Chains A and B, each alone.
Chain A
Amino acid sequence: MSGLVRNISLRSLRVWQRNRDVYFVTWKTNLVPPLLEPILYLLAFGAGIGALVKEVRYEGAPIGYTAFIAPGLLATQVMFQSFFENTYNTFVRMYYQRTFDAIVTTPLTLEDVMAGELLWGATKGTIGCTIMMAAISAFGLIRYPKALVIVPFSFLAGLFFAGLALCFTGLVPQIDVFNFPIFLFVMPMFLFSGTFFPLEVLPVWAQRLAWALPLTHVTRVMREACLGRLPADLGWDLLYLALATVPVNLLGIHLMRKRLVK
């Protein structure tokens, strides 16, 4: 493991730059999901479910349903952007485009390449989240300036999901096998992390389970920040995420090395 860390250098930023350059080549298609997704969700949930459920109780106080789910949408956006970047897109670069084969002949190590991929995956989460914030702000559901902490926070959250994604990329035999981690981990988190309903309505055992999910902590930070509050106990959520992020990222790089170097 120490050899792995030693092989990571600032040259990994060259890989980040490469991915950024591709992102700008295809920017029009990249902008569509984070801009339109929240608008569709807020219209559907606001006009549809919101007509049935006007308010929910969150931490003892009533809150409008669309205001409740807006931060949930931000949290899931980070997860989807980062997770999909370092699963499907990394797999395409690794296997179909053979991009990494070319880069490892330059002074970059394989660990540099993977670190660059992870940084880019986290960046994709931040970009998606920031664009979505702008769209949601048009509905008046975010309190500034405190909510701006979401931007740097989304990078940390993105890095966790990027690392998790890279672990699966190191393991799946083919690209369609990503369906398993998506339906076993990503979709349950999407639905059960306090994103669309308050966890208090669940039985206690289910609540405990929900708090073990990283996305639950991401959602909580996003929601408090959107409401314009930054209570001190958010530190626990940050600590949980930071402690989870380091090992999954290192494991992801390790599994990719195992996969690619024979």
Chain B
Amino acid sequence: MDGIDFSIRAGECFGFLGPNGAGKTSTVKMIHCFAPVTAGDLRVFGLDVREHPREIKVRIGVCQQEDTLDPDFSVHKNLLVFARYFGIPAREAEARAQELLEFMGLWERRKDGIRQLSGGLKRRLVIARALVNRPDLLILDEPTTGLDPQSRHQVWDRVRSLRKQGKTILLTTHYMDEAQTLCDRLVIMDHGKILVEGPPADLVRSRVGKDVIEIWGYPPALVERARQSGWTFETDSDRLFIYTDAGDEVFSAIHGRYPMERCTVRTAGLEDLFLRLTGRELRE
């Protein structure tokens, strides 16, 4: 981590967006008081993570990237054993387990072993487990990585429902659609640094513009034109991207005047912002 500065407000869903190795999980590990904070100041609920790890951890729920469920226990028992780490009495744990299994749509599968669950069901169980202590802050570290589209939408649906209930959520992801649909505010990180911070729509608007014109098979003359006109643009192997607030105008200025395979105008999204900030080269 290198000089990152952020604050999360109660009741919001805050996102950490970044490519693999950007430092998202490392930041999360510091927040749940596992990775040591060697410099700077990190407070959770106003408490210093170095001084009050137990007080902080009792109030947060963490859904980790890897499968950390207990394979020897049933779905139901996984929740009960986890509740015990928080010192929740058995009867109360039983009630919470039922409530959470119903909320996550797992009640029918409560007696199943973990090995019988699909990836999507496992992830929902991990989220249920992270809620067993009724946390004031829920941390979801890449909650839908590796899930099929149906499972992803189910997880999103549950996360939105939690957000409506007023739960404070910290989400890490490298999926733009996930960040766009779930996050009230987010930061984009790369190489241990925060590049931008704000609500996703505002960030796209101010950093990319309203529209993106995407031209397949562009002629070199068009690049020259873009440069002369002072447009913000970018190229990859076969496409030219022009970022602008006046998509239609720029489109009519070039369409039909230059030879090209295809040309489209679309609304700029988080992905455009993300790739502009972190570059297009491969990671890891």
Contact = CB atoms under 8 A, between A and B. Distances in A.
Contacts of A105: 32, 34, 57, 60-62, 64, 130
A110 B57 CA distance: 13
Contact of B66 (A98, A110, A262): A98
Most A CB within 10 A of own CB, among B67, B68, B69: B68
B54 A107 contact: yes
A30 to B, nearest CB: 12
A18 B86 CA distance: 13
A14 B77 contact: no
Contacts of A108: 85
B85 A101 contact: no
Contacts of B72: 22, 25-26
Interface of A: 11, 14, 17-18, 21-22, 25-26, 97-99, 101-110, 261-262
Interface in B47-73: 53-54, 57-58, 60-62, 64, 66-73
B216 interface: no
Contact of A18 (B58, B62, B70, B71): B70
A98 B81 contact: no
Contacts of A106: 57-58, 82, 85-86, 133
Nearest to A98: B68
Given A26-B72, A261-B35, A107 B62 contact: no
B84 interface: yes
Contacts, number: 67
Given A105-B64, A109-B53, A262-B35, A11 B71 contact: no
A11 B85 contact: yes
B58 to A, nearest CB: 5
A109 B34 CA distance: 9
B36 interface: yes
Contacts of B58: 106-107
A104 B73 CA distance: 19
Contacts of A262: 35
Given A102-B68, A105-B64, A25 B73 contact: yes
B85 A14 contact: yes
Nearest to A93: B70
B66 A107 contact: no
B87 interface: yes
